[in-house]
Amino acid sequence: MSETENKIVITRLFEEILNRRKLDMLDDIVAADYIDHYPYPGRPPGPARVRIQMENLFAAFPDVNYSLEDLVAEGELVAVRYILTGTHEGKVMGVEPTGKHVTVRGMDFFRLSGGLIAEYWECLDKLSLLRQLAGRL
């Protein structure tokens, strides 16, 4: 697929699946042999893994929203820079719900193969997130 088509897949991930909660679309864009380079133990492979991660995110931040700042593609790789906002309503990273509204920046990298997300690298500013939630660190 072209770099433009790969960027469209990643835009769909953020706009349709994350921002509009259309989790049923995961099977259309995530490869069965998907590799998460920031894995959580005990989770199934492929789209099911991504679904669990997103459900946990939505439980912690029910109003989470991603604003895409930059989207860059080269070959099979797509990099995205974004701002995540949301209200902390569920436990995340050991922190009980605070009701605080957070704004966190991130940059993620994806490798696509045949129009599907095959690999993922997360780079979310978790220190900033914890500082906003816990008020220290």
Q: What is the pLDDT of residues 27-53, one digit of tens each?
A: 999 999 999 887 667 777 788 889 999
**What percent of the chain stands above pLDDT 70?**
96
Residues 87, 60 contacting (CB under 8 angstroms): no
- Please count the structural domains in the chain: 1
Confidence of residue 83 (pLDDT cuts 50, 70, 90): very high
Which residue did the predictor score with more confidence, 59 or 48? 59
The Cα 102–Cα 134 span in angstroms is 11
Name every residue whose Cβ is closer than 8 Å to that of residue 37 and which is 6 or more positions away in sequence: 119, 120, 121, 122
Residue 73 belongs to domain with CATH number: 3.10.450.50
| Full residue range of the structural domain in which residue 45 is found | 3-134
From the list 102, 91, 94, the residue with the least C-alpha distance to 124 is 102
Mean pLDDT score of the chain, rounded to an integer? Answer: 93
* Arithmetic mean of pLDDT, 106-119: 97
The reported pTM is 0.92
The Cα 74–Cα 69 span in angstroms is 17
pLDDT at 39: 66
Q: Is the pLDDT of residue 137 over 70?
A: no
Q: Is the pLDDT of residue 66 over 80?
A: yes
Name every residue whose Cβ is closer than 8 Å to that of residue 99 and which is 6 or more positions away in sequence: 87, 88, 89
